[in-house]
Amino acid sequence: MEEMRFDGRVAVITGAGRGLGRAYALLLAARGAKVVVNDLGGAIRGDLDAPGADISVAQSVVDEIVAAGGKAIANTDSVATPEGGKAIVQAALDQWGGIDVLVHNAGNVRYGSIRELSSADLHAVLDVHLLGAFHVVQAAFGPMCDAGYGRIVLTSSVGGLYGNERCVNYGISKSAMLGLNNIAALEGEEHNVKCNVIVPGAVTRMAEGIDISQYPPMEPELVAPVVGWLSHEDCPVTGEMFASMAGRVARMFVAETDGVYRPHWTIEDVAAASEAFHDKAKLHDFGLHGHVDHIGYSFKMATAGADA
């Protein structure tokens, strides 16, 4: 297969100073993309003024890219505000006149159970993972649609899709990427703007405090090619979600069982039918236009049941 390159393309990658984001930036730049390396350089909790904050983190990745013959600029605006999201995208527009690829990877972690999590810790994580995704997508969406081209990659997590204890703020944010992804894919469809989700698993700063001694190889570089594919002009999919962990790549999706139709229901009827509508023998993957297809299938079942 011919090498999939990004010559002439402009990519914006948030949280690109370390870990996964850095791997994405280095790969896309090595394949010819001009890259805006966005990173606050802050502590893992997301406190810019906390010990360890370093705004030179983004520049260090830029230096790596430039030293290898690529093109990149550093940006330290925060995704957590609408103004920051606009400024990150504007950096690409000002420097290179456009934006072709957006990868939202920026993140922070503040642990706490449902009962104990403070409002400050809830909003600090929502602001970066959830609102941050919207801020940069909204800023990039207009220029992409106007240009008739764009590739967006959002970041979810197994902690958001399947849940994880003491990570409620993170889980809420990451599960919300499904909704944003689907809507961006639908609204971008007529403009050749595609949006997909990566569900990565890699050993980065977020694994701090976890015993990884029995883990298989889980470098960020194992995930980067999947993001590269989703970012490329030849990628055929939109509105989909892909897991990449320890060398395994898989499509993930929301599915429905076949379901049960009755013209009238009581609570007891629902209880009696529970085993039947839990039956996974037949699953439906309605895909990008699932909103319409779900309604259509439900109506079809109701019509068929009424005619029976």
Write down the residue that tokens 């990884």 correspond to. Answer: 212
Please answer whether residues 66 and 105 qualify as being in contact, where contact means their C-beta atoms are separated by less than 8 angstroms. Answer: no
Please answer whether residues 170 and 109 qualify as being in contact, where contact means their C-beta atoms are separated by less than 8 angstroms. Answer: yes
Amino acid residing at 259: G
Looking at residue 214, its pLDDT comes to 74
Averaged over successive runs of 10 residues, the pLDDT of the chain (308 residues) comes to 96 97 98 97 65 77 98 96 97 98 96 96 97 98 98 96 94 97 98 98 70 80 98 98 96 97 97 98 95 94 78
Separation between Cα atoms, residue 49 and residue 268, nearest integer Å: 57
Looking at residue 163, its pLDDT comes to 92
- 149 is known as an active-site residue: no
Residue among 59, 48, 51, 49 at smallest CA distance from 16: 59
* Selected catalytic residue, list 24, 111, 162, 170: 170
Please state which CATH class domain 10-252 belongs to.
alpha beta
What is the H or E stretch that residue 75 is in? strand 71-75
Looking at residue 207, its pLDDT comes to 61
Looking at residue 308, its pLDDT comes to 55
Looking at residue 60, its pLDDT comes to 97
| CA trace torsion 7, 10, 13, 18 (10° rounding) | 50
Question: How many CB atoms neighbour CB 78 within 10 A?
Answer: 21
What is the H or E stretch that residue 13 is in? strand 10-14
Two tokens at 194?
């595609």
Q: What is the DSSP letter of 206?
A: G
Domain boundaries, the chain: 10-252, 256-307
Please answer whether residues 198 and 225 qualify as being in contact, where contact means their C-beta atoms are separated by less than 8 angstroms. Answer: no
Looking at residue 53, its pLDDT comes to 47
Looking at residue 171, its pLDDT comes to 96
Looking at residue 218, its pLDDT comes to 84
Looking at residue 307, its pLDDT comes to 66
